[in-house]
């Protein structure tokens, strides 16, 4: 398969201070932020450098993580469920993300619950954004919206386009070459979908209607449900929210950038068995080769070969169906040490978490860390999704022995360092 890196799109927009508090971080603020997210034992108290022997993930809500990889600080997605200026349920604010001083922002796809804040953070920190060319188009829109509302001085946002514009999922594997000591491979995969095929053998996650769990199939009333504990809003009231207009993060994004999704495989260089992890912020239907089809104003499929349901009937990639080819790409990286993957599919009441398990079957992780449990999945519903996850493992007859699952529950696990010894995996 071809390995290519397409040119970058530089988005110039006016960036300045919304408030004095949003100024570029001082070194002391960077050190404090990195110690908060990655643990004081892992961050040098004088330089702010993160221990290069560790790979550390710190959950920031939904599919977003701050990560330290071989000492490099990056963001995996950039969305925060509650964008606050005074901490509430989420024990940090957007300034803390600026203070981290990330070197790069990797976007899985361009929907708001993944890509919001990316242009703003990149402008303030100089971090490079990596995304599909279609999502880079969306970053240009975000930059323009920010300029029109608040910014006053010139800055540059760099968005590096990965994969070819309009390419099929799995048609190419591309490389990110920013870090000499980390091999990063990227391929387009499938966004989750509620427009594809229903699997009658899967265990669905039940729909929630008016706060009541409503099973959607005939296998009994024991389904997990996308349902929030009724005590949750009172237990965890919102902090002081940053008005959406301040960063204009919820603006409409035109074009096809939304659901075009990338999976990232990070491999640390050196050693006989280098540490490897994969991160993906959505989990599509590789069984039936279906993905979310619509994101433009006309509501038409935005990838070549998709039908109105988002499926790829009769489409061949490397002599295989789209889903089968993607499965073979995933398997080519197996086994991975850690898979950080979405456990929520838009088709949760059709196929439950079946698609999540199909990705695990291919990547064969030693450790699985869930994401996407605070958007689509309502806040406070994570343990319901955990039930669905283990039901799906059983339904697929997946051997659970040897798979460590580090489940994340909000708000308990926000900014809690998940630390892996990259040099001594035993």
pLDDT along the chain (426 residues), means of 10: 43 38 64 97 94 96 97 96 82 90 96 90 93 91 70 72 94 97 97 87 79 65 78 84 53 72 96 92 96 68 84 94 98 98 88 93 97 91 91 89 93 96 75
DSSP 322: H
| CATH code for position 315 | 3.60.15.10
Token pair 């950080």: residue: 340
First to last CA, the chain: 33
Contact assessment for residue 1 and residue 173, using Cβ atoms and an 8 Å cutoff: yes
**Cα 168 from chain centroid?**
20
Residue 192 lies in a domain: yes
- Please give the Cα distance from 21 to 216 (Å, whole number): 49
Token pair 């993905």: residue: 291
Per-residue pLDDT reduced to its tens digit, 23-34:
444 589 999 999
Residue 426 lies in a domain: no
Residue 1 lies in a domain: no
Contact assessment for residue 146 and residue 119, using Cβ atoms and an 8 Å cutoff: yes
3 state DSSP class of 278: strand
Residue 169 lies in a domain: yes
Contact assessment for residue 354 and residue 390, using Cβ atoms and an 8 Å cutoff: no
Is the sign of the CA dihedral 407, 412, 413, 417 positive or negative? Answer: negative
Determine the structural domain holding residue 231 and report its residue range.
8-421
Please state, in angstroms and as integers, the Cα–Cα distance from residue 311 to each residue in 169, 244, 285, 344, 374, following that order.
Answer: 12, 35, 9, 19, 27
Residue 344 lies in a domain: yes
Residue ranges of E strands in 269-361: 276-280, 316-317, 320-321, 338-342
Residue 265 lies in a domain: yes
Residue 28 lies in a domain: yes
Neighbours of 231 (CB within 10 A): 9
- Please give the Cα distance from 84 to 238 (Å, whole number): 8
Q: Which residues contact 93 (CB under 8 A, 6 or more apart)?
A: 83, 84, 85, 86, 87, 242
- pLDDT of 4 reads 39
Q: Which residues contact 5 (CB under 8 A, 6 or more apart)?
A: 160, 162, 174, 175, 176, 177
Contact assessment for residue 288 and residue 351, using Cβ atoms and an 8 Å cutoff: no
Which ranges of 187-306 does DSSP label H, i.e. alpha helix? Answer: 232-235, 244-247
For the entire predicted model, the pTM comes to: 0.91
- Please give the Cα distance from 15 to 123 (Å, whole number): 7
Neighbours of 351 (CB within 10 A): 30
- Please give the Cα distance from 83 to 89 (Å, whole number): 10
- pLDDT of 322 reads 97
Element (H, E) at 144: helix 133-149
Helix %, strand %, coil % of the chain (to 5): 25, 25, 50
- Please give the Cα distance from 102 to 50 (Å, whole number): 12
- Please give the Cα distance from 116 to 59 (Å, whole number): 16
Please choose, from the candidates 57, 46, 38, the residue with its C-alpha nearest in 3D space to the C-alpha of residue 370: 57
The CA-based angle 365-370-371, given to 5 degrees, is 130
Residue 336 lies in a domain: yes
Please choose, from the candidates 406, 419, 410, the residue with its C-alpha nearest in 3D space to the C-alpha of residue 60: 410
Give 106's strand partners.
76, 130
How many structural domains are present in the chain? 1
């Amino acid at each position: 398969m071809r390995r290519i890196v397409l040119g970058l799109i530089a988005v110039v927009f006016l960036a300045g201070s919304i408030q004095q508090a949003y100024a570029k971080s001082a070194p002391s603020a960077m050190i404090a932020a990195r110690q908060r997210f990655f643990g004081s034992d892992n961050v040098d108290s004088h330089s702010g450098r993160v221990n290069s022997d560790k790979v550390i993930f710190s959950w920031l809500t939904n599919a977003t993580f701050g990560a330290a990889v071989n000492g490099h600080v990056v963001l995996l997605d950039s969305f925060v469920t509650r964008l606050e200026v005074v901490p509430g349920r989420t024990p940090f604010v957007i300034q803390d993300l600026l203070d981290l001083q990330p070197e790069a922002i990797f976007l899985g796809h361009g929907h708001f619950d993944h890509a919001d804040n990316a242009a703003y953070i990149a402008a303030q920190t100089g971090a490079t954004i990596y995304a599909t060319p279609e999502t880079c188009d969306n970053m240009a829109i975000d930059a323009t919206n920010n300029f029109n509302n608040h910014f006053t001085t010139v800055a540059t946002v760099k968005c590096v386009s990965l994969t070819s514009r309009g390419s099929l999922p799995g048609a190419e594997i591309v490389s990110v070459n920013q870090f000499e000591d980390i091999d990063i491979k990227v391929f387009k995969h499938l966004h989750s979908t509620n427009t594809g095929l229903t699997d009658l053998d899967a265990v669905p996650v039940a729909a929630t209607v008016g706060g009541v769990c409503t099973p959607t199939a005939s296998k009994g009333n024991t389904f997990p449900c996308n349902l929030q504990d009724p005590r949750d809003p009172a237990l965890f009231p919102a902090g002081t929210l940053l008005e959406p207009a301040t960063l204009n993060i919820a603006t409409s994004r035109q074009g096809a950038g939304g659901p075009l999704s990338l999976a990232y495989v990070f491999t640390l260089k050196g050693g006989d068995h280098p540490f490897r992890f994969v991160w993906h912020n959505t989990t599509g239907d590789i069984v039936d080769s279906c993905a979310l089809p619509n994101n433009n104003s006309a509501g038409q499929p935005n990838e070549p070969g998709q039908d109105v349901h988002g499926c790829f009937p009769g489409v061949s990639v490397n002599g295989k169906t789209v889903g089968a080819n993607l499965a073979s790409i995933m398997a080519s990286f197996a086994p991975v040490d850690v898979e950080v993957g979405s456990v929520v599919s838009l088709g949760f009441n059709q196929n439950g978490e079946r698609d999540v398990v199909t990705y695990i079957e291919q990547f064969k992780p030693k450790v699985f860390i869930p994401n996407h449990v605070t958007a689509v999945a309502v806040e406070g519903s994570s343990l319901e999704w955990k039930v669905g996850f283990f039901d799906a493992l059983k339904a697929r007859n997946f051997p659970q022995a040897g798979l460590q699952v580090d489940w994340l529950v909000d708000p308990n696990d926000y900014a809690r360092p998940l630390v892996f010894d990259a040099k001594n995996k035993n």
